[in-house]
Amino acid sequence: MRLFIQSVFLILISVSYYSCQQKSKYVIGVSQCSVDEWRDKMNMEMLNEAALSQNIELIILSSNDDTKKQISDIKYLIDQKVDLLILTPNEIAPMTPIIENIYDSGTPVILVDRKIDSDKFTAFIGADNYQIGTEVGRYAVNLLNGKGNIVEIKGLTGSSSAIERHRGFYDIVEKYPNMKIVFEGDAGWFKTEGALQMRKALNSTDSIDLVFVQNDRMAKGAFEEATKEDRAKNIYFLGIDGLPGPGEGIDMVLQNKLEATFLYPTGGDKTIQLATDILEKKYFKKENILPTSVIDKTNAKILKLQTDQIVEQQSKIVLLNQRINKQLEKYIAQRNITYLISVLAILFCILLIGLLKAYHAKKKLNNKLHDSNLEIIKQKNELEAHQLQLLALSKQLEEATHAKLAFFTDISHDFRTPLTLISGPVDLLLETSEPHKEGYKWLKIIKKNVDILLRLVNQIIEFRSIETNNAKLSLSPNNIDSYLKDWNLLFLQMIQKNKIEFSYQSEYFEHMCMFDLEKVERIYFNLLSNAFKFTGREGSISVLLSRIVEEEQAYIQITISNTGQGLSDDDINNIFERFYRVESHVTGSGIGLALVKALVELHEGCIAAISKNDLTTFIVKLPYIVSRQTIDKADTRITSLEQVHYDDKLTIQQPDSSTEIDSNYTLLIVDDNEEIRYYIRSIFKNKYHIIEASDGEEGLHLAYENNIDIIISDVMMPKIDGVELCTKIKEDIRVCHIPVVLLTACSLDEQRIKGFESGADAYISKPFNPRILEVRIQKMLENRQKIKKHLSGNILTESYNTLNINTLDDALILKLKNYILERISDTNLNVEDISSEFGLSRAQFYRKMKAITNQGPNEFIRAIRLNKSVEILRTGKNVSEVAYEVGFTSPAYFTKCFKEFFHKNPSEIS
């Protein structure tokens, strides 16, 4: 590219050099004083000469006999930086200093035909005007034989030619005393002025023999003026210039208008030759006098022929010159085109060379690129192969890890049932044996280690469930405060043993909220275990339950702080990483806190650890979701701060005995594992009547046949499994009111979800703390009891509908209510009719009514009749009317029943 630019640059210089060569070498300025035939002829001669020389450019200006204009013309030419100036000064005086200046400044000046009053000019060319004047004088003397009156009509008074011509003429004439100049007038070289002066002369005298007019043009005017008076024929007219051509000097001689004219040569060609010599520094003469001669009748004819020929020749030369010029222009144009084409061809060649070079360079580059591409592809392939190897390796590793985890999980599942069966009976044994006996201590050791094993096993299973994305949330409304307190009790022994100051504080807010009970239990248990692990003897652990709002989202916040050695920054950053262990504490699987974090995040909550001044704090935030039930019970909210200090005076809380428990509750245990059945039976045998079934089918059958209050069922069983059993129970109107608790060794959430979808009322995974199971079952029974109580009093009111016990039971009660209300005045309405209407046996119907409403069918019918009677009594009807209207056979019996039911007389209703 650089080469290309350089070449273009060189070519442009050459072209501009060439263009310079086309310009004329010299520029010559010409300032003519007049516009007339004489000047035209001279200009033509100069142009022809310049054209012949080819290197002279002429700029010709004419000032039209106006001296001021001539001065400005000359300035213009000087501004154009002409190489030489040719001029005829119009007048001597004003032009002399201007010409001197130009000459002094170094521009050569040629004076033509007229002179100035100074030597400061380069050269003069023209005829000798004095000499012409003398020749005219001599000619006049001859013509008049030395005697006669003469009139002289002169050119411009200030011009040198006029002055010199007069002086020459006068010098001759004055020698002849009989020759008198009778009139002199200035006609300024113009024809009209010539005529005017002639008029004056004619008017001044009657005797004029000869008129000397200083040029032929003025002579023409004078002659014509004299002719007007017919006086021309008696007068000799003499002129100067002797120009060829029609009506000019020679012609006027031939026409007898002039006696003679004196040749005043124009000499344009010679002037240019002189200028060239000056410019080219050749030898030249300062004074160049052109010859003159008289033209009269003796030579005019031959001169005319000669000059005509010359004019013809000249016009041919002009034509030729024009043709040559045209040819020259053509030639120049063609030469220019040739140059242009050559330049373009050179440019094209350079471009071609450049393109070829670029092409080669590109080809080279392409080859290089191709090579490097090949190299890159090779490297890419190697990388891909490497990546594939790595992928295969990581897949193998992943598979191995999965296999390991799966193996550990399977083993953990297998371990859990036997561990449960060790842990449970040990609990029972511990409760029954006496603490001071030797065996008691051994049982404690067994219990402690079994619990550790169970916890590890459970963590592995839970962790696996999260790793395989099978962990799901099962939100249910629970009292968080109440559960945290229950779980605190599990650490009572450690509190007492290590003399730990343990405090639990809960802030005032609605504690009934939605969370996954088992997962929060796991979170809390792990964090508390961790706190106890790091708290030395006589240390302190504090728990705070609070409610916070962050970015318009409410959270339950559980803050667990413990004293101890504290955690390093490194520990804080990694504490929730799986298998991370705090260095100073080597025991533990390193899964606990990772599991806690995963469980918290499953709740869409967050967890953080802070360690400051030996105080380690874990803060758990779980979204605070208030349950529907809570909103309904808004008036029962806690309104005071509760703080509990756990010390050695505390004992494990016993199930709440304030609620009236029906000891005739019947519990159906469905499990294919006989030992588990035995274990559960041993937990509840002193409280409830127990019925056992070894599979779901048997369990379902027993549920139909017996008045069952609650079912505890395993999930994995032959024939009908726990989920199916639950579904069948919840879909059957006869038994759908029975609460079902699913109990299994498998804690996979998918199964839990299935369990809840089947309508299970609770899902408890093994291993379970027997006391916690006991409390759960008791609370469920209490709940049923409360609902029954509520229903017995509000069966006719709309509040029944909001309890939402079970859709089948809801539908049954609603249908039953409507059925009775439609037949309210029918005294014969009986239980048999109703039970058959609902497709149930009398016994089944009785059991159903008792289970839902805590009332027998007859009591239920009576309650509806009595509730309806209140409505009618309010319309103002009397008691007897109302009694019959609601199906009582006698008003007295109605009054008795009414009083028993409402503790009021019907007459008191208004």
Query: Which residues here bind ligand FRU, judged by CB under 6 A?
Result: 34, 36, 38-39, 113-114, 155, 159, 161, 189, 215, 217, 240-241, 264
CB of 88 to ligand FRU, least distance (A): 7
Q: Are the beta carbons of 741 and 776 closer than 8 angstroms?
A: yes
**Residue 717 vs residues 421, 694, 809: alpha-carbon distances, Å:** 18, 8, 28
Residue placing its CB nearer to ligand FRU in the complex, 221 or 539: 221
Token duo for residue 872: 């009618």
**Amino acid identity at 679:** Y
Q: In the bound complex, what is the minimum distance in angstroms from residue 163's beta carbon to ligand FRU?
A: 10
Looking at the Cβ atoms of 163 and 676, the one nearer to ligand FRU is 163
**DSSP bridge pairs for 501:** 540
Q: Which is nearer to ligand FRU, 168 or 564 (CB)?
A: 168
CB atoms within 10 A of CB 654: 9
Per the CB < 8 A criterion, the answer to whether 714 and 743 are in contact is yes
What does the block give as tokens for 652? Answer: 């494990």
Q: What is the rounded CA–CA span in Å between residue 767 and residue 761?
A: 19
Structure tokens at 405: 């985890």
Least spacing, CB of residue 249 vs ligand FRU, in Å = 9
Identify which of residues 37 and 782 has a Cβ nearer to ligand FRU in the complex. Answer: 37
CB of 239 to ligand FRU, least distance (A): 9
Do strands 260-263 and 236-241 pair parallel, antiparallel, or not at all (unpaired)? Answer: parallel
Hey, how many other C-beta atoms are within 10 angstroms of the C-beta on 344? 12
**Residue 129 Cβ, how far from ligand FRU at the closest point, in Å?**
7
Look at residues 756, 720, 718, 717 and name the one whose alpha carbon lies nearest to residue 740.
756
Minimum Å gap between C-beta 171 and ligand FRU is 19
Nearer to ligand FRU, 11 or 60 (CB): 60
Concatenating the DSSP letter of every residue in 767-804 gives: S--HHHHHHHHHHHHHHHHHHHHHHHHHTTSTHHHHH-
Q: Give min distance, CB of 180 to ligand FRU, in A.
A: 25
Q: How far is the CB of 165 from ligand FRU (least distance, A)?
A: 8
Q: How far is the CB of 114 from ligand FRU (least distance, A)?
A: 5
106-121: burial string, b at 16+ Cβ within 10 Å, e else: ebbbbbbbbbbeeeeb
State the helix-helix crossing angle for 300-432 and 438-467, rounded to 10 degrees. Answer: 160
Q: Residue 399 and residue 305: Cα distance in Å, rounded?
A: 132
Q: Is the Cβ–Cβ distance between 123 and 85 less than 8 Å?
A: no
**Closest CB 193 distance from ligand FRU, rounded Å:** 11
- Measured on CA atoms in the order 133, 135, 136, 141, is the torsion positive or negative? positive
Q: Which residue, 137 or 539, is less far from ligand FRU as judged by CB?
A: 137
- Which two structure tokens, joined as six digits, stand for 342? 């050559």
In the complex, the smallest distance separating the C-beta of residue 64 from ligand FRU, rounded to whole angstroms, is: 11
| Exposure b/e, 212-234, CB count within 10 A at least 16 = b | bbbbbbbbbbbbebbeeeeebee
CB closer to ligand FRU out of 28 and 156:
156
| Nearer residue to ligand FRU within complex by CB, 133 or 155 | 155
Judged by CB, which is closer to ligand FRU: 114, or 597? Answer: 114
Q: How far is CA 497 from the centre of its chain?
A: 67
Judged by CB, which is closer to ligand FRU: 198, or 736? 198
Cα 362–Cα 363–Cα 367 angle in degrees, nearest 5: 115
Nearest to 859 by CA among 847, 871, 850: 850
Nearer to ligand FRU, 248 or 521 (CB): 248
- Ordered DSSP codes for 138-193: HHHHHHHTT-EEEEEEES-TTSHHHHHHHHHHHHHHTT-TTEEEEEEEE-TT-HHH
Give all strands (DSSP E) within 604-684, no chain letters: 606-612, 615-623, 642-646, 666-670
Q: Which residue has the tokens 């032009």?
A: 95
Task: Closer to ligand FRU by CB, 37 or 885: give it.
Answer: 37
Q: Nearest-CA neighbor of 109 among 25, 28, 53, 32?
A: 28
853 and 786 in contact (C-beta within 8 Å)? no
State in angstroms the smallest separation of the CB of 159 from ligand FRU.
6
Between 261 and 758, CB nearer to ligand FRU: 261
Q: How far is the CB of 300 from ligand FRU (least distance, A)?
A: 18
Which is nearer to ligand FRU, 112 or 680 (by Cβ)? 112
Q: Is the Cβ of residue 39 or residue 868 nearer to ligand FRU in the bound state? A: 39
- Tokens 């992943």, residue located: 398
Least gap, CB of 42 to ligand FRU (angstroms): 9
How is residue 442 written in tokens? Answer: 């051994």
Backbone torsions φ then ψ of 435, nearest 5 degrees? -55, -30
- In the bound state with ligand FRU, the residue whose beta carbon lies nearer, of 214 and 747, is 214
Nearer to ligand FRU, 163 or 690 (CB): 163
| C-alpha dist (Å) from residue 579 to 96, 204, 568, 576, 583 | 121, 150, 17, 9, 12
Cβ nearer to ligand FRU, comparing 154 with 511: 154
Closest contact distance (angstroms) between CB of 160 and ligand FRU is: 8
Under 8 Å between Cβ of 147 and 176: yes
**What minimum distance in Å lies between the beta carbon of 241 and ligand FRU?**
5
CB 183 within 8 A of CB 151: yes
Provide φ and ψ at 543, rounded to 5°. Answer: -125, 135
- Closest approach, Cβ 11 to ligand FRU, in A, equals 51
Minimum Å gap between C-beta 218 and ligand FRU is 8
Angle between helices 517-534 and 592-602 (to 10 degrees): 150
